[in-house]
């Protein structure tokens, strides 16, 4: 197995993926030519290994949140130590939230929380985690309770897009949080023109590059860019993966430095997992996607990517 190439003193993106093995995450360089496996998460709880998990990077830490028999648990991987640690727990443990990181801070908004009687409730609760202090802090809650939403940082503000409410209905509104004023602004109709295939489709597939917000429109396999001034999404051509075949689940759409990254099943009859990146050009309508030749001991990744995030180190 190849090891990740280290360029000491340089900050570069690494892609961390979880593609099906019970406790295995792999970290790749940006060209997917070199990689290594992370150590096994130190949990013996079968519930954690076999249930869904949510992953995000903050600083040089990888945060993995999942469910053990006794409740929701947080694990963090520290790149400098090449080691996993348990905790610290969220103040209000929950899953299916919208999240995004900005440097060494990551925000978690909404999601599903269990009440005192063990019943799931959709919340508007928001808290942030600091990678330096390893502490959670509550911040002012959103206007709307929402689950299965997506989050991003755009032009210095934390955005939460779409999701489903307590009645399991899709929300077309978004919200943005200004940390300087500790306040939320509701954005009506932010996803009003986006098609929802099914009530159980994946959260919006979004990514930010060069202070521009992009979306992979699941139903049409199209790339779109958001005009922050007019609240409109402009079409930028097709994306070379079949996101609609699995309602957006198992597909990776991320920013990777100055490029967009998409990983999913191909449009071809073979339905293999393919990797493409795109450097946005403002001068053409149809964006050019470059295939990345994935190398991994002459084997192929599963067709379903469970978790993926990008770490800068």
Q: Which residues pair with 308 in a beta bridge?
A: 17
Q: Return d(Cα 190, Cα 173) in angstroms, integer.
A: 5
Range of the domain at 230: 197-306
295 pLDDT tier (thresholds 50, 70, 90):
low
pLDDT tens by residue, 70-103: 889 999 999 999 999 998 999 999 999 999 999 8
Q: What was the pLDDT predicted at 36?
A: 87
Q: What was the pLDDT predicted at 294?
A: 64
Note whether residue 19 is domain-resident.
Answer: no
117 has a pLDDT exceeding 70: yes
* One domain for residues 201 and 179: no
Domain final residue, candidates 138, 169, 192 = 192
Q: 280: Cβ–Cβ under 8 A, 6 or more apart, which residues? A: 209, 210, 212, 214, 225, 236, 260, 287
Q: What was the pLDDT predicted at 7?
A: 43
272 has a pLDDT exceeding 80: no
Q: Give the CATH number, domain containing residue 132.
A: 2.120.10.80
In 3D space, the residue among 42, 32, 64 whose CA is nearest the CA of residue 306 turns out to be 64
pLDDT, mean of residues 120-148: 96
Note whether residue 185 is domain-resident.
Answer: yes
């Amino acid at each position: 197995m190849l090891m990740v190439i280290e360029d000491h003193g340089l900050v570069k993106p690494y892609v961390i993926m979880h593609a099906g093995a019970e406790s295995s995450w792999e970290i790749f360089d940006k060209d997917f030519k070199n990689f290594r496996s992370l150590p096994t998460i130190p949990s013996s709880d079968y519930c954690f290994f076999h249930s869904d998990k949510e992953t995000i990077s903050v600083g040089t830490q990888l945060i993995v949140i999942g469910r053990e028999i006794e409740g929701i648990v947080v694990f963090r991987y520290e790149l400098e130590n090449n080691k996993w640690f348990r905790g610290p727990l969220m103040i209000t443990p929950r899953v299916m939230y919208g999240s995004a990181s900005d440097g060494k801070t990551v925000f978690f908004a909404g999601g599903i929380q269990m009440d005192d009687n063990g019943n799931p409730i959709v919340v508007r609760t928001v808290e942030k985690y600091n990678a330096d202090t390893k502490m959670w802090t509550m911040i002012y809650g959103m206007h709307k309770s929402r689950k299965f939403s997506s989050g991003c940082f755009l032009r210095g503000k934390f955005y939460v897009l779409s999701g489903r409410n307590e009645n399991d209905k899709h929300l077309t509104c978004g919200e943005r949080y200004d940390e300087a004023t500790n306040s939320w602004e509701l954005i009506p109709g932010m996803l009003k023109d986006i098609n929802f295939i099914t009530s159980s489709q994946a959260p919006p597939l979004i990514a930010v590059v060069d202070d521009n917000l992009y979306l992979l429109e699941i139903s049409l396999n199209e790339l779109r860019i958001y005009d922050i001034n007019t609240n409109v999404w402009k079409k930028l051509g097709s994306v070379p993966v079949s996101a609609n075949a699995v309602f957006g689940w198992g597909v990776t759409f991320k920013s990777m430095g100055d490029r967009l990254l998409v990983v999913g099943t191909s449009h071809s009859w073979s339905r293999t997992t393919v990797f493409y990146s795109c450097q946005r050009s403002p001068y053409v309508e149809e964006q050019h996607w470059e295939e990345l030749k994935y190398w991994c001991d002459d084997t192929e990744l599963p067709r379903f990517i469970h978790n993926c995030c990008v770490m800068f180190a």
